[in-house]
């Protein structure tokens, strides 16, 4: 899958990462375009964090490359980081420093700094500014990290599973704050996450990794259009083979006494109409999939290749 790097603020080109004999990322190419919210999804061990580490210049790729603002992420890290905001999976800051002290320290590192914005966000989140970082809850640490990441008014915000381990309220607040910034500034976002429900409403593009391979990388609307759940009712309506479904590219078939459900990856109205005709007098319907359902269809134990 080729990445179109025109206008990209971040890109991976044939990126390969190995740990000993284990290949964590296998020749992945992907581009994050200006102004989009690009979500990278995958199960644990799929290679997401390895890609983020290469993008941030924290590790050198074994093959291919990662770039930020047309700069090599490994060699140009210092210049690129000034235009970047980052929220890691587990924010790590000096445990003895308070939030206020951390904000003061970080404000000196960037040419632009939205001090009023940081103060307002910490107040909205209810993060105590005089409590040492080490005594903050996990949610408060993540909220502080987001406030710091947005303060330099970054051209790109990189979020590595930022809501992992947070409760439902903290996750909601985190995404609401992110949505607010997107509405105000249109910040470009590259995010890895397990919170599929939280990201579904704001992602404009989705990539899915499976065992180090990029299964797909598409606009959210395109995914919603081509992936559907097709259902039949009645035991006599289950075909003995999948020949009549071939045009819809079935991924997963589930049969039961009531009929069958098939997840398809190439839904098209005319092909569906022909399928209904072929199975007449079957009663069939097609419904959209949530992002979570789509992810499970591709990356679950029975998942297939789209």
pLDDT in tens, 154-170: 999 999 999 888 888 88
Radius of gyration of the chain (CA): 22
Q: List pLDDT tens digits, range 113-145.
A: 999 999 999 999 999 999 999 999 999 999 999
- pLDDT score of 224 more than 50: yes
- pLDDT score of 147 more than 50: yes
Higher-confidence residue: 84 or 302?
84
User: Tell me, what's the pLDDT at 241?
Assistant: 47
User: Tell me, what's the pLDDT at 283?
Assistant: 74
Nearest to 111 by CA among 147, 159, 151, 76: 151
User: Tell me, what's the pLDDT at 226?
Assistant: 93
The whole-chain average pLDDT of the chain stands at 88
User: Tell me, what's the pLDDT at 164?
Assistant: 84
- pLDDT score of 240 more than 80: no
Every domain of the chain and the residues it spans: 8-219, 228-288
Q: Which fold, 228-288?
A: Alpha-Beta Plaits (3.30.70)
- pLDDT score of 39 more than 70: yes
Q: List pLDDT tens digits, range 289-301.
A: 999 999 998 997 6
Q: Does domain 8-219 have CATH number 3.40.50.300?
A: yes
User: Tell me, what's the pLDDT at 242?
Assistant: 58
């Amino acid at each position: 899958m080729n990445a179109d790097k025109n206008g990209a603020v971040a890109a991976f080109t044939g990126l390969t990462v190995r740990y000993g004999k284990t290949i964590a990322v296998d020749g992945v190419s992907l581009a994050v375009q200006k102004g989009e919210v690009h979500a990278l999804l995958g199960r644990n061990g799929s290679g997401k964090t390895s890609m983020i580490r290469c993008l941030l210049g924290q590790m050198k790729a074994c093959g291919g490359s990662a770039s930020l603002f047309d700069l090599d992420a490994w060699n140009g890290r210092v210049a690129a980081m000034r235009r970047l905001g980052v929220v890691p999976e587990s924010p790590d800051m000096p445990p003895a420093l308070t939030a206020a002290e951390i904000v003061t320290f970080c404000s000196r590192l960037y040419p632009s700094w939205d001090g009023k914005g940081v103060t307002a966000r910490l107040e909205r989140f209810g993060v105590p500014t005089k409590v040492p970082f080490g005594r903050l809850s996990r949610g408060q640490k993540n909220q502080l990290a987001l406030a710091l990441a947005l303060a330099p008014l970054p051209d790109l915000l990189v979020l590595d599973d930022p809501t992992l381990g947070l409760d439902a309220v903290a996750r909601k607040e985190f995404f609401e704050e992110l949505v607010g910034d997107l509405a105000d500034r249109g910040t470009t976002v590259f995010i890895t996450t397990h919170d599929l429900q939280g990201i579904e409403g704001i992602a404009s593009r989705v990539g899915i990794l499976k065992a180090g391979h990029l299964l797909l990388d598409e606009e959210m609307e395109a995914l919603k259009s081509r992936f559907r759940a097709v259902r039949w009712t009645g035991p006599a309506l289950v075909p003995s083979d999948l020949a009549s479904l071939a045009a819809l590219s079935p991924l997963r078939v589930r049969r039961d006494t009531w009929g069958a459900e098939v997840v398809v990856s190439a839904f098209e109205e005319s092909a569906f109409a022909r399928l209904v005709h072929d199975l007449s007098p079957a009663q069939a319907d097609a419904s959209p999939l949530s992002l979570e359902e789509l992810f499970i269809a591709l990356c679950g134990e029975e998942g297939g290749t789209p």
